[in-house]
Structure 1
């Protein structure tokens, strides 16, 4: 199946249609394609029926280096649910399961702060420790995951036995790239836990849409969900013209998808039309190739030309830009030249089809 859509509304309708006879849909797409817009549109279209994880959820939390705490916006819908449902203990348990069970979060809704400590019962114990960026992301994911898990458990009870009616309207969980900044071990852990949660929801009128640009996350979820024969998988492309292409993905590795990325970047270079989106496409290509070839040091090892250090910095900058889903032509000549040189060096070194 290959469907082209001129509008985000049409794309969303197609995705919802694919969920009519399946429990989940998994979409692989690089940054700037529009997956974040798709996720937000689905939430805006059905605020009561959709529970959304995306960068907006991450924005609810801000790390304070001076006080060494994670500040929370307690007015957010998600945090209100945590407080009213008493899910703070579940968040702590989930966080410790995904990370180090010696690190213990302490959630204070009155102050709107989360502090972290190591409690071993000896002199090495400490309060107010600074956690890594990856651990911060995992904590935020645990907040969402704990709410979603509680919702599934509640809906599995018969209506007359449910302790809360807060989840009765839930029909769709939309999860947009939850594994940014996580290492491979934690990415696998999160993917497997999410797959198990989806399986627990079997028999309920709750569907799941997961979008990601991370090949390993896609791979683990694909294999976990397709065993049930109730999951759909796709790749999402956005070409130089307006619109999106949603294509069925029959295999657990979307590697062939990246041949299209090579063509897109080559056309942009030859036509002098390099945009920020092409930098994100190149990073996605590097990530997949590094995973495929087993480079333990990550995608940066695949950049071997004279501008490797500069391009690594630019790829990191553009990939983590909070507005990365918006194309921009504001790219300096220095950055464009670095992309050209390193891209062609990459094609030659790794012998991609059609490389110069």
Structure 2
């Protein structure tokens, strides 16, 4: 039996629908593979609530990270700080709310570094305790003004966001403008190992809130979706809806299908069919490598491999498959690839087609899903 579905002409219409549904629900959970338009949907949802200077949506997506930028102290190479965009409403209550003490308990679940927020200079400095020496000579020292890793920075920003969510749900005056919260793919920014912890932590925060704010969560991450599915089912069953979002190739619109189970069924097959269709033409964007990587990763997991490169067919002159792996690695990353998609160059398109074609030759998917709509393009 097929799940009920709804069609939408564009992302703006879909965003309006989500807002309407949140009048009766507390949570909406969306699954969509990379390239569908999750980030653009979060921005469309946010933009509907913009009325002159007024806003109504607190959002977390790829652009939230842009509110923080590094000053690496290129002259002295010693005092590295993370600068904060003081003009953003995101930081409306920063000076008055003792944000350090609100973030620190959240961050301690994920990281071993400490931080200090300077609300005069609008910057964050980081430190870490390390142990030097051995035995009786061992001692612990604090190293200040360190530059944390990219993953640690993302975890810090996520915890900063959660602290603001807590303030908003506690009724803090600085955040009373927040009517909706939209969270887009925190797992894209966080380490894979934290998927379960992040999902559980997020739901716990809402369970403990006196007045939880209506929220949309969108993700391409199966494990994250799975954990949230069970958490919402156990604690907010009648207050949540779950959907799979996909593009309608025929109308260039979008389809949102109700998802009852914990795993979006066969979505990788739909993604693969879409990739094949795209490869038959000449309009191939860089984000299609994101979609291809997702399919390769799912296939690798199914066959018990630890890395997607095991599913890339190797050429005789590239015995280790390094070249094709690097193409997938490099072109499946990039913060703006989905929001501002750019078309691949002709040589890159050829490599994309070759990797996809050899993958389909190696794994016997139903050929009826992949009709040849055009003559096979040349390969490098």
Same fold (TM over 0.5): yes
- Is 1:232 aligned to 2:241, yes or no? yes
Deviation string 1:242-278 (CA, Å, 9 cap, x unpaired) is 2111111222222411211111111222344433342
Secondary structure of 1:338's partner?
helix
Secondary structure of 2:187's partner?
coil
Question: With structure 1 as the length reference, what TM-score do the two structures score?
Answer: 0.86
Larger CA Rg, structure 1 vs 2: 2
Cα distance between partner residues in 1 of 2:308 and 2:60: 26
Gaps spanning 5+ residues in structure 2: where?
74-78, 132-138, 371-380
Q: 1:54: how far off? A: 1.6
Cα distance between partner residues in 1 of 2:46 and 2:226: 26
Q: 1:285: how far off? A: 1.8
Match of 2:67 in 1: 60
Match of 1:246 in 2: 256
Secondary structure of 2:142's partner?
coil
Report matched runs for 1:98-177 at 5 Å. Answer: 98-100=110-112, 103-119=113-129, 122-152=139-169, 154-155=170-171, 164-177=172-185
Q: What RMSD in Å do the two structures reach over aligned CA positions?
A: 2.6
Secondary structure of 1:180's partner?
helix
Deviation string 1:93-137 (CA, Å, 9 cap, x unpaired) is 21122222xx11121122222222123683443222231111111
Deviation string 1:173-202 (CA, Å, 9 cap, x unpaired) is 10111222432221221111111223334x
Give the stretch that moved more between structures: 59-68 or 321-330: 321-330
- Is 1:182 aligned to 2:183, yes or no? no
Match of 2:97 in 1: 85
In the superposition, relative to structure 1, how do residues 84 and 311 fare at CA in structure 2: closer, same or farther (>3 Å)? farther
Q: 1:282: how far off? A: 1.0
- Is 1:39 aligned to 2:56, yes or no? no
Secondary structure of 1:144's partner?
helix
Match of 1:343 in 2: 356
Cα distance between partner residues in 1 of 2:252 and 2:176: 38
Match of 1:96 in 2: 108
Match of 1:14 in 2: 17
Q: 1:60: how far off? A: 0.8
Match of 1:288 in 2: 298
Q: 2:7 aligns with which of 4, 18, 29?
A: 4
Cα distance between partner residues in 2 of 1:288 and 1:114: 38
Contact 1:74 1:109 in 2 (8 A): no
Contact 2:5 2:258 in 1 (8 A): yes
Cα distance between partner residues in 2 of 1:199 and 1:295: 37
Contact 1:27 1:236 in 2 (8 A): yes
Gaps spanning 5+ residues in structure 1: where?
156-163
Q: 1:320 aligns with which of 315, 333, 344?
A: 333
Number of residues paired by the alignment? 343
In the superposition, relative to structure 1, how do residues 83 and 319 fare at CA in structure 2: closer, same or farther (>3 Å)? farther
